[in-house]
Amino acid sequence: MDKLTSKKTLLDSIRLSEGTKFECDVNAIFEEYNNQGENKSSLAIKVLSIFGGFLATLAFLAFLAIAGLYNSEFGLLIFGIGFIISAIWLNKTYGKLIIDTFSISIYIIGFALLAFGLSEMKVDENIIAILISLIAISSLIITQNFILSFTSVLAISGSFIFLIISNDSYDLIHLYVAINTLILTYLFLNEAKIISSNKRLSQLYNPVRIGLVVSLLFGLITVGKRHLIPISQNLIWLSSVVMILVTLYLVYKIIKINEVKDFKSKAIIYSLSFLILAPTILSPSISGAIVIILLSFLVNYRTGLVIGIISIIYFISQYYYDLNFTLLTKSIILFVSGVMFLLFYLFIIKNSTSNEKI
């Protein structure tokens, strides 16, 4: 059975189970599926296409440099705005992969030209960052293209981080991490409600989700790598508190979904969770990676799960490297942590096996 036939069968089964209340635009669904099939390509092709479009745009920028554009602030401003508008128009008008890859290149370079032009005009850097974030938000409203929306989310997050750093308000990065974590948690746990509420939101959901995951990683790297920015080590626990509370809430959700009702089992799960999370109070990046893993596990989001696993390996390695302990003490800490994770894993496997037998 091919994929189109299987989708027809799935729609028929849903219609049969839901009765007359179920309504859907079958033609629109199949048309969207066909459009996705026409533009489907491997990751390698997409990367090569983006790289080729980016090189072509750089060649055009080199031509503009030879023509003396960079000597004119207004020229930079006009071309920057023109590139951004062109990228949004191309994505709004065409749905082809090659157009997407080219438009995203001129979209990014448009932001660069705009920022450089405003900077040359002595515009305050805070105003530039706010303007870039407002343009990115506007592009999210106008077009719901995946790559463009993903880039816009990163532009918004990057603007906030830039505002924090440029104003020497380094400890506000904890607020950035906390807000990003709470928004991401809400998106993951309310996926069905968001997707079904509005067509535009359903198209934005996937790019915004992965964009927020990457944005959260930016924040976690900032607080996780020592001396990257001069944040107060006495306040490092602020991000950890939010991460630990969110993690415990996710553990509660997982317990509820798996229908674990035995008090002893719950006590063991919460105790192991607390023992694992307690050492991360001074390393919010590790608990943040755990949040990404649990959220992705809850909704079966494989990309997020892979990102979470890779990030937790990196953050644990970074934390291990930064510790001011002897090699023996570091080894003991890693050994104990590994044993705790293995016990937690074995308990989950044993509990799931018992539920299947029941």
Q: Does the residue 7 lie in any domain?
A: no
Question: Could you give the C-alpha distances from 168 to 88, 122, 180, 318, in angstroms and in order?
Answer: 34, 20, 20, 25
Same domain, 158 and 198: no
As given in the structure block, the two tokens for residue 39 are: 């533009």
Number of domains in the chain: 2
Q: Does the residue 149 lie in any domain?
A: yes
Same domain, 208 and 142: no
Same domain, 55 and 150: yes
Residue 275 belongs to domain spanning:
168-358
pLDDT score at 40: 47
Which of 135, 167, 199 represents a domain boundary (last residue)? Answer: 167
Assess contact for 216 and 292: CB atoms under 8 A.
yes
Which residues in the chain come in under a pLDDT of 70? 1-12, 14-54, 56-57, 64, 67-71, 95-98, 321-331, 333-334, 337, 340-341, 344-345, 347-358
Same domain, 65 and 123: yes
Output the CA torsion sign for 95, 305, 160, 162: negative
Q: Does the residue 267 lie in any domain?
A: yes
CA angle 284, 288, 291 (to 5 degrees): 145
pLDDT digit string, tens, across residues 249-291: 988 888 888 777 777 878 888 888 888 788 788 788 888 888 9
Same domain, 180 and 294: yes
Q: Does the residue 10 lie in any domain?
A: no
pLDDT score at 79: 82
Q: Does the residue 57 lie in any domain?
A: yes
Token pair 């020592």: residue: 226
Which of 152, 167, 182 represents a domain boundary (last residue)? Answer: 167
Same domain, 144 and 225: no
Same domain, 141 and 243: no
pLDDT score at 233: 75
Which of 149, 167, 185 represents a domain boundary (last residue)? Answer: 167
Q: Does the residue 241 lie in any domain?
A: yes
pLDDT digit string, tens, across residues 58-95: 777 777 677 666 667 787 888 888 888 888 888 777 76
pLDDT score at 354: 53
Same domain, 186 and 129: no
Question: Could you give the C-alpha distances from 258 to 3, 240, 355, in angstroms and in order?
Answer: 31, 27, 9
Q: Does the residue 16 lie in any domain?
A: no
Same domain, 62 and 179: no
Same domain, 206 and 107: no
Assess contact for 304 and 289: CB atoms under 8 A.
no
Q: Does the residue 14 lie in any domain?
A: no
Same domain, 184 and 299: yes
Same domain, 204 and 351: yes
pLDDT score at 11: 60
Q: How far apart are CA 57 and CA 323, in angstroms?
A: 45
